[in-house]
């Protein structure tokens, strides 16, 4: 019976092969923002739930029937494929969402005199995958008239001929047909 599985990779112990992991850790958090307040402690704005991260350490050993180098290359191919999937621990999925293999790192390698990998520790780091996001960077060189700035806004160069100069303000004032009549009434009222 499998201990765990992700994509086509199965962690299990059988009569001819031992492929298991240890050091299973995961953590989650909420996303917060401290909002400064003058002469007082900052307010806390709760943005929402953050993504959960998980990692496992896989002990790869040739004497347990595992092709160490091949196993590492298969995990790197899964990472480079960038497709999330369900991580099953025992018989149940771990978490509510899929997981994306974000990082692989190899350590504690043992290599024989012929260059064969006899043992290694493979660290796999996953991140919860809820849905596909959208790129926040602007289109840059292929994106029209302006370039991109660090904040993701379009920037444009202004030519002096493009600057709008308004006409004389007096020319833009509207005419009030009742103005003359109103000033006459005010003048008569003063004379009385």
| CATH 2.40.30 for the 4-129 domain, yes or no | yes
Q: What is the pTM of this model?
A: 0.65
10-residue mean pLDDT profile of the chain (192 residues): values are 88 78 91 89 91 94 92 96 94 93 96 94 96 72 47 55 61 68 76 72
Portions of the chain given CATH number 2.40.30 = 4-129
Q: What is the pLDDT of residues 127-169, one digit of tens each?
A: 999 998 888 755 544 444 444 444 555 555 555 555 556 666 6
Distance of alpha carbon 163 from the chain centroid: 39
Closest by CA position to 156, among listed 168, 138, 172, 135: 138
């Amino acid at each position: 019976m499998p201990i765990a599985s992700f994509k086509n990779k199965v962690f299990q112990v059988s009569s001819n092969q031992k492929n298991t992991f240890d050091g299973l850790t995961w953590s989650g958090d909420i996303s917060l923002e401290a909002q400064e307040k003058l002469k007082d402690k900052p307010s806390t704005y709760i943005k929402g739930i953050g993504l959960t991260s998980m990692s496992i350490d896989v002990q790869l050993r040739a004497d347990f029937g595992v092709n160490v180098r091949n196993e590492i290359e298969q995990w790197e191919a899964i990472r480079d494929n960038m497709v999330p999937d369900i991580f099953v621990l025992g018989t149940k999925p771990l978490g509510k969402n899929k997981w994306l293999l974000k990082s692989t790192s190899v350590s504690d390698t043992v290599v024989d005199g012929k260059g064969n990998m006899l043992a290694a520790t493979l660290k796999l780091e996953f991140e919860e995958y809820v849905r596909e996001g959208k790129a926040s960077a602007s289109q840059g060189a292929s994106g029209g008239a302006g370039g991109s700035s660090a904040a993701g806004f379009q920037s444009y160069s202004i030519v002096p001929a493009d600057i709008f100069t308004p006409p004389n303000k007096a020319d833009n004032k509207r005419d009030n047909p009742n103005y003359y009549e109103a000033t006459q009434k005010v003048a008569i009222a003063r004379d009385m």
